[in-house]
Structure 1
Amino acid sequence: MNLDAFQDALNARGAEVAASFAALPAQDFTHADPERWSPAQHLDHLIRSHKGLALALSMPRDRFGWGQRTPPGSRDADEIQSAYLEALRGGVKASGRFLPDPQGTQADLVQTYRDSVALLDHHLTVYCTDAELHGATLPHPALGEVTLAEMLHFTLYHDLHHLRSVQNALNPQALEIP
């Protein structure tokens, strides 16, 4: 995938996630079992993840742990998904600035999520190049050093993973998909 394809996929995934969270009944949006996040918390976590990545993209490449993979190369989407699921099975959990603390109404959070997708898309346009996709690296809290392409594969899967987690929690009879 090139940068344009990643941006198209990000915007499509963002629209899917936003529509799904917007369609939830209000009582479901803020409800959670004791051991699970509410849909509002899932959405806030995604907002925080997008904003964190957007901030990293806007930093000079000699800051925020940016590096260079030599030789350039990236794992594909399936490999990133597998690595993320393995990290989750190993006990990795959100922490620090990625812990959710949703503020505002359902409509506010859905709009903030849409805004975070637009911000990330904008930062990809302004601060990134196709040449950086498989060579520039940055730190990921669960996966370690990843290329920009790997981070974008992760972001696409991460949004879907949290959407599916909410859908599975609300409909436990449905087939659980990772």
Structure 2
Amino acid sequence: MSRDELRQALAARTEEVAAVVEALETEAFSRGSAEQWSPAHHLDHLTRSHKVLAMALSMPRDRFGWGTRPVGTPGQAYDALRNEYLRRLREQGVKATGRFVPEPHGAPHEQLDQYRQSVDLLTHHLMAYVNEAELDTATLPHPVLGELSVRELLLFTLYHNEHHLRGLTAQEPL
């Protein structure tokens, strides 16, 4: 996916998440715990994840664990990233830690506003890239998947939103 396609896909996924949240009753939105996440937990976790990536993208390349990958190094596709993430969740029992642990607060519309703002911030920093090559050569550490290119991180972000969308709709346990 190109930079513009990533932006458009993230906007579309954001609207999918927003539609689910807007359809929830306030009680259902907040019903859950640290062990069994509520929709509020899922939304807060996504918001936190977006903000961390946006912050990383906004920093100079000599900070925040930035690395480089040789030009022409093939990146992982969406399906490969998704499958590896799900494998690690299954085999290693990976759970959110540190700044990614949700602490939801506020009404559903307030949390949804914060979620949308986090996507806007991420999109703003994504669009600051002036060429496609930097999306493949600049790398950052992912807490579960290790070193990924910025493009791979954005593909993962698309999947991560889809993954937690299932939690919002309780389609399957995460």
Match of 1:48 in 2: 48
In the alignment, is residue 161 of structure 1 matched against residue 166 of structure 2?
A: no
Q: 1:128 to 1:144 in 2, by over 3 A?
A: farther
Contact 1:9/1:156 (<8 A) preserved:
yes
In the TM superposition, residue 73 of structure 1 has moved relative to its aligned partner by 2.1
Whole-angstrom distance in 2 between the partners of 1:78 and 1:34? 29
Match of 1:171 in 2: none
Q: 1:39 to 1:128 in 2, by over 3 A?
A: farther
Match of 2:15 in 1: 15
In the alignment, is residue 91 of structure 1 matched against residue 97 of structure 2?
A: no
Q: 1:34 to 1:7 in 2, by over 3 A?
A: closer
Whole-angstrom distance in 2 between the partners of 1:21 and 1:134? 33
In the alignment, is residue 75 of structure 1 matched against residue 76 of structure 2?
A: yes
In the alignment, is residue 100 of structure 1 matched against residue 119 of structure 2?
A: no
What amino acid does structure 2 have at the position aligned with 1:15? E
- Percent sequence identity is 53
Contact 1:47/1:116 (<8 A) preserved:
yes
Aligned CA RMSD, in angstroms, stands at 1.7
What amino acid does structure 2 have at the position aligned with 1:42? H
Unaligned runs of 5+ in 2: none
Whole-angstrom distance in 1 between the partners of 2:74 and 2:59? 22
Unaligned runs of 5+ in 1: 169-173
Contact 1:69/1:135 (<8 A) preserved:
yes
Contact 2:139/2:150 (<8 A) preserved:
yes
Whole-angstrom distance in 2 between the partners of 1:95 and 1:128? 33
Q: 1:72 to 1:177 in 2, by over 3 A?
A: farther
What amino acid does structure 2 have at the position aligned with 1:20? V
In the TM superposition, residue 151 of structure 1 has moved relative to its aligned partner by 0.3
In the TM superposition, residue 130 of structure 1 has moved relative to its aligned partner by 1.2
Whole-angstrom distance in 1 between the partners of 2:19 and 2:121? 18
Whole-angstrom distance in 2 between the partners of 1:141 and 1:8? 25
TM-score by length of 1: 0.91
